[in-house]
Amino acid sequence: MVADALENLELIAQSTRDFAQKHIRPHVREWDETQAFPAETFHRLGELGLMGVLVPELYGGAGLNYAAYVTAIVELSKVDGAVGLSMAAHNSLCTNHILQFANEEQKHEYLPKLASGAWIGAWGLTEPNTGLDAGNMRTVAVPDGDHWVLNGSKNFITHGKSGHVAVVIARTGPPNTRDNATAFVIERGTPGFSAGKKEDKLGMRASETTELIFQDCRVHKSQMLGKVGEGFKQALTILDGGRISIAALSLGIAQGAYEAALQYAKERQQFGRPIADFQAIQFKLADMATEIEVARLLTYHAADLKDRKLPVSKASAMAKYYASEVSVKVANEAVQIFGGYGYTKDFPVEKYYRDAKLCTIGEGTSEIQKIVIGREILR
């Protein structure tokens, strides 16, 4: 049984690797420089089953587990972190929120479109003035007959412009009170719902990030996910799984940077021999390889707990925290090994360097992960 599971993971890794080499690698620099969101590539990922990895076959998904999901993200992110990020946000946040908290009618309406890649999903929690202080969010939903009227804005939203549907958390009670937020699923084109400014980012530039703006946006009560007041609790559950995906993203970026540095160290000649022969470089590579392996073990451990439906808050926070910091460190060392060439866009490691930093910030900063871990170990 274990052998079969490992074989399945290798098949997923190989098919994703082949896809990335054919459909992503030739365009990485172009997408990064133009900040173009490659929507067609995500439609193709849907055909491969990677836009609904966790979605049961009943709803048109691949019906795979978190270990398979982690494997796919790692392979995509080794080639382009921006593609890995967008694939993870679509699966872990929007699609998974609907999968876990929607009613059957909503699931049958949205999951087949999202799992096939025909539709791209967005997820809105963060706001300009309430990044971590979600209980004080300014986006408000007020009941009006059979509808809710939303006003406010969200920022740093992946696929905020190109997404066909968004899961949005809005405040439906007084600020800073319990159970004061509710989740809604809102389609693009709904009157009063629009995308705002697109962010000009340091890295992950092919992964679109924009504002979501709500101006007297009327949403029918049938678009509510779960019950009134459950929104923030739902969001915390989603983020537990989302942290695993960011750990996988971090792992892929680190692995990509390490492999590039390792290959370069074998080829680059100084004083008549490869720089890999020098102990200074060997020590760097040894540290990189060891820390990547620890990050891998933490990430797959969290995925295993998630698959077995065991508590995962501590493990996912540990995996996200450690893997993201390792990603930044490994990318930095990769640039150092490349030397001056590593600082140019003709070589791949400068992009890993830029992309990696987002991993320590998105879906909860490293400091927030430490808070989560601290609370869990002191229970």
* CATH class assigned to 2-120: mainly alpha
Q: Which residues pair with 273 in a beta bridge?
A: 270
Strands 165-171 and 121-124: parallel
Q: What is residue 243's predicted lDDT score, i.e. its pLDDT?
A: 97
In sequence order, which residues have a C-beta less than 8 Å from that of residue 165 and are 6 or more positions away?
A: 94, 110, 113, 114, 119, 121, 122, 185, 186, 187, 188
- Active-site option among 109, 127, 208, 363: 363
Taking the chain (379 residues) in runs of 10, the rounded mean pLDDT of each run is 76 97 98 97 97 98 97 98 98 98 98 98 92 80 98 97 97 92 98 97 98 98 97 94 97 98 97 98 98 98 97 97 98 98 97 98 95 96
Q: Which CATH class is domain 232-377?
A: mainly alpha
In whole angstroms, what is the distance from residue 81 CA to residue 75 CA? 10
Q: Give the Cα separation of 230 and 183 in Å (integer).
A: 7
pLDDT of residue 6: 75
Count CA within 13 A, CB hemisphere, residue 59: 28
Identify which of 93, 98, 125 has the alpha carbon closest to the alpha carbon of residue 110. 98
Distance, CA of 182 to CA of 168 (rounded, Å): 8
Report how far residue 235's alpha carbon sits from residue 47's, in angstroms, rounded to the nearest whole number. 28
Q: How much is the pLDDT for 5?
A: 73
CA pair distance 134, 172, nearest whole angstrom? 12
122-229 topology per CATH: Butyryl-CoA Dehydrogenase, subunit A; domain 2 (2.40.110)
What is the DSSP secondary structure assignment for residue 199, as one 8-state letter? P
Identify the pLDDT of residue 131.
Answer: 63
pLDDT of res. 271: 96
**Pairing state of beta strands 209-220 and 193-198?**
antiparallel
Domain boundaries, the chain: 2-120, 122-229, 232-377
* H helix or E strand, kind and range, residue 220: strand 209-220
Question: Rounded to whole angstroms, how far apart are CA atoms 104 and 102?
Answer: 7
Same fold for the domain at 2-120 and the one at 232-377? Answer: no
User: By three-state DSSP, how is residue 259 classified?
Assistant: helix
Residue with tokens 């967008």: 86
Catalytic residue flag (residue 109): no
pLDDT at position 4: 67
